[in-house]
Structure 1
Protein backbone atom coordinates (compact mmCIF):
# COMPACT_ATOMS: atom_id res chain seq x y z
CA UNK A 1 0.00 0.00 0.00
CA UNK A 2 2.85 2.39 0.85
CA UNK A 3 4.44 1.71 -2.53
CA UNK A 4 1.19 2.50 -4.31
CA UNK A 5 0.78 5.82 -2.43
CA UNK A 6 4.43 6.74 -3.07
CA UNK A 7 4.13 5.88 -6.77
CA UNK A 8 0.92 7.93 -7.09
CA UNK A 9 2.54 10.88 -5.34
CA UNK A 10 5.57 10.71 -7.67
CA UNK A 11 3.32 10.63 -10.74
CA UNK A 12 1.36 13.67 -9.56
CA UNK A 13 4.58 15.60 -8.87
CA UNK A 14 5.96 14.65 -12.30
CA UNK A 15 2.87 15.94 -14.10
CA UNK A 16 3.09 19.22 -12.14
CA UNK A 17 6.77 19.57 -13.01
CA UNK A 18 6.14 18.93 -16.71
CA UNK A 19 3.35 21.54 -16.76
CA UNK A 20 5.54 24.09 -14.98
CA UNK A 21 8.32 23.58 -17.51
CA UNK A 22 6.08 23.93 -20.56
CA UNK A 23 5.59 27.69 -20.08
CA UNK A 24 8.44 29.84 -21.38
CA UNK A 25 9.02 33.45 -22.18
CA UNK A 26 10.35 34.20 -25.65
CA UNK A 27 11.66 37.47 -27.05
CA UNK A 28 11.36 38.82 -30.59
CA UNK A 29 12.96 42.14 -31.55
CA UNK A 30 11.57 44.26 -34.39
CA UNK A 31 15.20 44.99 -35.36
CA UNK A 32 18.46 43.74 -33.90
CA UNK A 33 20.60 46.33 -35.71
CA UNK A 34 20.10 50.06 -36.13
CA UNK A 35 22.05 52.57 -38.17
CA UNK A 36 22.15 56.03 -36.63
CA UNK A 37 23.29 57.51 -39.93
CA UNK A 38 25.82 60.33 -40.12
CA UNK A 39 26.11 62.89 -37.35
CA UNK A 40 28.58 65.60 -36.36
CA UNK A 41 31.18 65.48 -33.62
CA UNK A 42 29.70 68.82 -32.52
CA UNK A 43 26.59 66.87 -31.45
CA UNK A 44 28.14 63.47 -30.69
CA UNK A 45 25.20 61.88 -28.85
CA UNK A 46 22.69 59.70 -30.70
CA UNK A 47 19.94 57.38 -29.47
CA UNK A 48 18.37 54.16 -30.75
CA UNK A 49 15.39 52.29 -29.34
CA UNK A 50 14.95 48.54 -29.79
CA UNK A 51 11.36 47.33 -29.41
CA UNK A 52 10.64 43.71 -28.54
CA UNK A 53 7.60 41.51 -27.94
CA UNK A 54 7.22 38.64 -25.50
CA UNK A 55 5.98 35.94 -27.88
CA UNK A 56 6.09 33.27 -25.18
CA UNK A 57 3.47 32.20 -22.67
CA UNK A 58 5.23 33.28 -19.45
CA UNK A 59 6.40 36.70 -18.20
CA UNK A 60 9.66 37.88 -19.81
CA UNK A 61 12.31 39.35 -17.53
CA UNK A 62 15.34 41.23 -18.85
CA UNK A 63 18.10 40.40 -16.38
CA UNK A 64 20.97 42.40 -17.84
CA UNK A 65 21.86 44.59 -20.82
CA UNK A 66 25.59 45.13 -21.38
CA UNK A 67 27.23 47.32 -24.03
CA UNK A 68 30.59 46.58 -25.63
CA UNK A 69 32.09 49.88 -24.45
CA UNK A 70 31.46 52.77 -22.08
CA UNK A 71 30.44 55.06 -24.95
CA UNK A 72 27.23 53.05 -25.38
CA UNK A 73 24.78 53.13 -22.46
CA UNK A 74 21.63 50.95 -22.43
CA UNK A 75 18.47 51.71 -20.44
CA UNK A 76 15.71 49.16 -19.83
CA UNK A 77 12.82 48.42 -17.48
CA UNK A 78 13.26 45.66 -14.94
CA UNK A 79 9.50 45.05 -14.83
CA UNK A 80 8.37 41.70 -16.35
CA UNK A 81 6.82 41.92 -19.81
CA UNK A 82 3.66 39.84 -19.95
CA UNK A 83 2.96 37.44 -22.86
CA UNK A 84 1.91 39.32 -25.99
CA UNK A 85 3.08 42.68 -24.62
CA UNK A 86 5.97 44.84 -25.82
CA UNK A 87 8.92 46.48 -24.16
CA UNK A 88 11.91 48.49 -25.27
CA UNK A 89 15.61 49.01 -24.68
CA UNK A 90 16.99 52.51 -25.25
CA UNK A 91 20.66 52.79 -26.21
CA UNK A 92 22.54 56.10 -26.09
CA UNK A 93 25.81 56.40 -28.02
CA UNK A 94 28.15 59.19 -26.92
CA UNK A 95 30.96 59.77 -29.43
CA UNK A 96 32.70 62.49 -27.40
CA UNK A 97 36.49 62.10 -27.81
CA UNK A 98 35.99 59.10 -30.12
CA UNK A 99 37.67 58.82 -33.53
CA UNK A 100 35.76 60.15 -36.53
CA UNK A 101 34.36 57.70 -39.02
CA UNK A 102 32.29 54.55 -38.96
CA UNK A 103 31.56 52.74 -35.67
CA UNK A 104 29.68 49.59 -34.77
CA UNK A 105 28.96 48.62 -31.17
CA UNK A 106 27.22 45.57 -29.74
CA UNK A 107 24.80 45.24 -26.86
CA UNK A 108 24.15 41.90 -25.15
CA UNK A 109 20.66 41.30 -23.72
CA UNK A 110 20.27 38.53 -21.12
CA UNK A 111 16.77 37.38 -20.21
CA UNK A 112 14.71 34.38 -19.19
CA UNK A 113 13.65 33.78 -22.83
CA UNK A 114 13.99 30.39 -24.55
CA UNK A 115 17.14 31.83 -26.11
CA UNK A 116 18.56 33.65 -23.08
CA UNK A 117 21.09 35.84 -24.90
CA UNK A 118 20.42 38.23 -27.78
CA UNK A 119 23.00 40.51 -29.42
CA UNK A 120 21.93 43.93 -30.69
CA UNK A 121 24.03 46.29 -32.83
CA UNK A 122 24.21 50.05 -33.14
CA UNK A 123 26.25 51.70 -35.91
CA UNK A 124 26.75 55.01 -37.60
CA UNK A 125 29.32 57.50 -38.89
CA UNK A 126 30.60 60.51 -36.99
CA UNK A 127 32.01 63.38 -39.01
CA UNK A 128 33.58 66.79 -38.26
Structure 2
Protein backbone atom coordinates (compact mmCIF):
# COMPACT_ATOMS: atom_id res chain seq x y z
CA UNK A 1 0.00 0.00 0.00
CA UNK A 2 2.83 2.40 0.88
CA UNK A 3 4.53 1.68 -2.45
CA UNK A 4 1.32 2.46 -4.34
CA UNK A 5 0.94 5.75 -2.43
CA UNK A 6 4.58 6.66 -3.17
CA UNK A 7 4.20 5.96 -6.91
CA UNK A 8 0.98 8.01 -7.02
CA UNK A 9 2.61 10.93 -5.20
CA UNK A 10 5.64 10.78 -7.49
CA UNK A 11 3.38 10.86 -10.55
CA UNK A 12 1.40 13.80 -9.12
CA UNK A 13 4.53 15.85 -8.39
CA UNK A 14 6.10 15.12 -11.78
CA UNK A 15 2.87 16.02 -13.62
CA UNK A 16 2.71 19.43 -11.89
CA UNK A 17 6.21 20.47 -12.98
CA UNK A 18 5.24 22.81 -15.83
CA UNK A 19 8.12 25.14 -16.75
CA UNK A 20 9.97 24.55 -13.50
CA UNK A 21 13.43 23.02 -13.57
CA UNK A 22 13.51 19.41 -12.45
CA UNK A 23 16.44 18.21 -10.39
CA UNK A 24 18.88 16.26 -12.54
CA UNK A 25 18.02 17.88 -15.87
CA UNK A 26 21.21 19.11 -17.51
CA UNK A 27 21.37 21.81 -20.14
CA UNK A 28 24.08 23.65 -22.07
CA UNK A 29 25.13 27.29 -22.03
CA UNK A 30 26.92 29.79 -24.21
CA UNK A 31 28.92 32.63 -22.61
CA UNK A 32 32.04 34.74 -23.10
CA UNK A 33 34.83 33.25 -20.98
CA UNK A 34 36.72 36.57 -20.82
CA UNK A 35 35.38 40.00 -19.89
CA UNK A 36 37.99 42.57 -20.93
CA UNK A 37 37.68 45.76 -18.86
CA UNK A 38 40.57 47.39 -20.71
CA UNK A 39 42.70 50.07 -19.02
CA UNK A 40 41.24 51.44 -15.80
CA UNK A 41 42.29 53.89 -13.11
CA UNK A 42 43.28 52.69 -9.64
CA UNK A 43 40.23 52.89 -7.37
CA UNK A 44 37.71 52.44 -10.18
CA UNK A 45 34.94 49.87 -9.72
CA UNK A 46 34.63 47.62 -12.77
CA UNK A 47 31.04 46.52 -13.37
CA UNK A 48 30.71 43.50 -15.63
CA UNK A 49 27.47 42.06 -16.97
CA UNK A 50 28.15 38.51 -18.09
CA UNK A 51 25.50 37.14 -20.43
CA UNK A 52 24.72 33.43 -20.15
CA UNK A 53 22.53 31.98 -22.90
CA UNK A 54 20.70 28.71 -22.35
CA UNK A 55 21.40 26.64 -25.48
CA UNK A 56 19.86 23.44 -24.17
CA UNK A 57 16.42 21.91 -23.80
CA UNK A 58 15.82 22.44 -20.05
CA UNK A 59 15.72 25.56 -17.84
CA UNK A 60 19.20 26.70 -16.78
CA UNK A 61 19.44 27.19 -13.02
CA UNK A 62 22.43 29.04 -11.57
CA UNK A 63 22.90 27.57 -8.12
CA UNK A 64 25.78 29.79 -7.03
CA UNK A 65 28.51 32.14 -8.17
CA UNK A 66 31.90 32.04 -6.48
CA UNK A 67 34.69 34.62 -6.56
CA UNK A 68 38.36 34.13 -5.83
CA UNK A 69 39.06 37.16 -3.63
CA UNK A 70 37.45 39.94 -1.57
CA UNK A 71 38.02 42.47 -4.36
CA UNK A 72 35.33 40.79 -6.46
CA UNK A 73 31.59 40.49 -5.87
CA UNK A 74 29.06 38.65 -8.05
CA UNK A 75 25.34 37.94 -8.10
CA UNK A 76 23.36 35.30 -9.96
CA UNK A 77 20.11 35.54 -11.90
CA UNK A 78 17.07 35.19 -9.61
CA UNK A 79 15.15 32.51 -11.49
CA UNK A 80 15.71 29.83 -14.12
CA UNK A 81 16.75 30.87 -17.64
CA UNK A 82 14.40 29.26 -20.16
CA UNK A 83 15.80 27.45 -23.23
CA UNK A 84 16.85 29.98 -25.88
CA UNK A 85 16.84 32.89 -23.43
CA UNK A 86 19.70 34.82 -21.85
CA UNK A 87 20.33 35.68 -18.21
CA UNK A 88 22.92 37.97 -16.65
CA UNK A 89 25.49 37.37 -13.93
CA UNK A 90 26.55 40.74 -12.54
CA UNK A 91 30.05 41.15 -11.13
CA UNK A 92 32.19 43.99 -9.86
CA UNK A 93 35.90 44.33 -9.16
CA UNK A 94 37.18 46.97 -6.74
CA UNK A 95 40.49 48.00 -8.32
CA UNK A 96 41.52 49.71 -5.08
CA UNK A 97 42.12 46.19 -3.73
CA UNK A 98 44.12 45.04 -6.78
CA UNK A 99 47.80 45.68 -7.50
CA UNK A 100 48.98 47.91 -10.34
CA UNK A 101 49.39 46.50 -13.84
CA UNK A 102 47.53 43.67 -15.52
CA UNK A 103 45.07 41.63 -13.49
CA UNK A 104 42.69 38.70 -13.92
CA UNK A 105 39.92 37.67 -11.52
CA UNK A 106 37.88 34.52 -12.07
CA UNK A 107 34.19 34.01 -11.40
CA UNK A 108 32.85 30.47 -11.17
CA UNK A 109 29.22 30.02 -12.20
CA UNK A 110 27.81 26.77 -10.82
CA UNK A 111 24.75 25.60 -12.72
CA UNK A 112 22.88 22.57 -14.06
CA UNK A 113 24.99 22.70 -17.21
CA UNK A 114 27.46 20.33 -18.80
CA UNK A 115 30.12 21.08 -17.54
CA UNK A 116 28.60 22.17 -14.22
CA UNK A 117 31.13 24.97 -13.59
CA UNK A 118 31.47 27.86 -16.05
CA UNK A 119 34.52 30.07 -15.50
CA UNK A 120 34.59 33.71 -16.59
CA UNK A 121 37.77 35.76 -16.22
CA UNK A 122 37.50 39.52 -15.69
CA UNK A 123 40.71 41.03 -17.03
CA UNK A 124 42.13 44.50 -17.28
CA UNK A 125 45.09 46.75 -16.62
CA UNK A 126 45.30 49.25 -13.77
CA UNK A 127 47.27 52.37 -14.59
What TM-score results when the alignment is normalised by the length of structure 1? Answer: 0.75
Structure of greater Rg: 1
Q: Runs of 5+ in structure 1 lacking a partner?
A: 1-19
How far the C-alpha of 1:22 sits from its partner, in A, is 9.9
Matched-pair contact (CA < 8 Å) for 2:66–2:107: yes
> Residue 90 of structure 1: CA displacement?
1.3
Rate the CA distance shift 1:97–1:60 in 2: closer, same or farther, 3 A.
closer
Deviations 1:68-117 (A, max 9, x none): 11111112213001111110111101011432111111111100112111
Asked whether the equivalents of residues 54 and 83 of structure 1 are also in contact (C-alpha less than 8 Å), the reply is yes
Normalised by the length of structure 2, the TM-score is 0.75
Runs of 4+ in 1 over 4 A off after TM superposition: 20-23
Equivalenced residue count is: 106
Q: Secondary structure at the match of 1:96?
A: helix
Take 2:24 and 2:96, find their aligned partners in 1: how far apart are those partners? Answer: 47
Partner SS, residue 90 of structure 1? strand
Q: Which residue of 2 aligns with 1:124?
A: 124
Q: Is the 8 A contact 2:44 2:95 kept in 1?
A: yes
**Does the Cα contact within 8 Å between 1:73 and 1:91 map onto a contact in 2?**
yes
Q: What does residue 26 of structure 2 align with? A: 24
Pair 103,84 (structure 1): closer, same or farther in 2 beyond 3 Å = same
The two structures, once aligned, show a CA RMSD in angstroms of 2.0
Could you list the per-position Cα deviations for residues 9-42 of structure 1 after superposition, in whole angstroms to 9, with x for gaps in the alignment?
xxxxxxxxxxx9996321111x11011111111x
Q: Conserved in 1, the CA contact under 8 Å of 2:71 and 2:97?
A: no
State the match for 1:110 in structure 2: 110
Matches within 5 A, 1:30-45: 31-41=32-42, 43-45=43-45
Structure 2 counterpart of 1:12: none
